[in-house]
Amino acid sequence: MFTVLRPATRPATASAGAALGSGAHPAGPAVLVDDTARTPGLRTAEPRNRPAAVLSPDREETLVRARNGDSTAFSALVKQHQSMVFSLALHALRSRAAAEDLAQEVFLELYRSLGRIESAAHATSWLRRVTSHRCIDEIRRRQHRPELGMDVLPERGAAPAAREFFLEDRLQSLVATLPARARMVVVLRFQEDLDPSEIALALNMPINTVKSHLRRSLNVLRARLSAQG
């Protein structure tokens, strides 16, 4: 009925950029930044200039037609959201094949749930929430049955400096060791660039719990990066 295409992924520095401070000393350790607290002495990202949540009327019309059984409209709905769903699954699961499979399942669930989707904005938040929870379930399953030989990480964009390349891989490997819910919070914050209130909505989690996960996870990641030298 539909096929989720693998969208182009961001350059390697994009995912690490919000979490790693480049600083003035390239030989120094990576600095992980929790910009929910504005900790003195740590680099923080500039405030995002997020556009107002105004969606094109065409998207609303597409949703209405999809709800009325128009398969072409549903394919358009998939195309509007496949990049977000695939990116989130890819960076949570670190496997292209697993991300593609999960995206197919999410969009099949969307097809079955169209009658409950109230608006185009609701479709986006619904997809993010369902994808996040499916990723958490899959991460937990993997913790009980580790998989070997996974095709990890997306294709690289512009080639970063050797040190940046190393830190990117090392950081993503460390993020993959976090518990499932903590990993999703970190991925949503630093890879998907959501703020804590958006993460709370996606994970059905109190915002203070989101901030607590971020603080604890970043402390763990800093300590492990420091221990690795």
What confidence tier does 55 reach under pLDDT thresholds 50, 70, 90?
low
For 37, which DSSP code?
A: T
- Structure tokens belonging to residue 146: 């580790």
| CA distance linking residue 56 with residue 22, whole number of Å | 38
What confidence tier does 229 reach under pLDDT thresholds 50, 70, 90?
low
What is the pTM assigned to this prediction? 0.68
Q: What average pLDDT does the structure give for the chain?
A: 75
What pLDDT, on the 0 to 100 scale, is given for residue 167?
54
What confidence tier does 133 reach under pLDDT thresholds 50, 70, 90?
very high
Q: Measure the CA angle with vertex 135, ends 53 and 123; round to 5°.
A: 30
Q: Backbone phi, then psi, for 28, in 5-degree steps? A: -80, 175
Lowest mean pLDDT among 75-79, 167-171, 183-187: 167-171
Query: What CATH number should be reported for the domain whose range is 15-39+57-228?
Result: 1.20.140.160
Q: Which single residue is written with the structure tokens 């979490």?
A: 19
Q: Which single residue is written with the structure tokens 């919000």?
A: 18
| CA distance linking residue 220 with residue 216, whole number of Å | 6
Residue 69 pLDDT exceeds 70: yes
Q: How does 111-120 read in b/e, with b if 16+ C-beta sit within 10 Å?
A: eeeeeebeeb
Residue 27 pLDDT exceeds 70: no
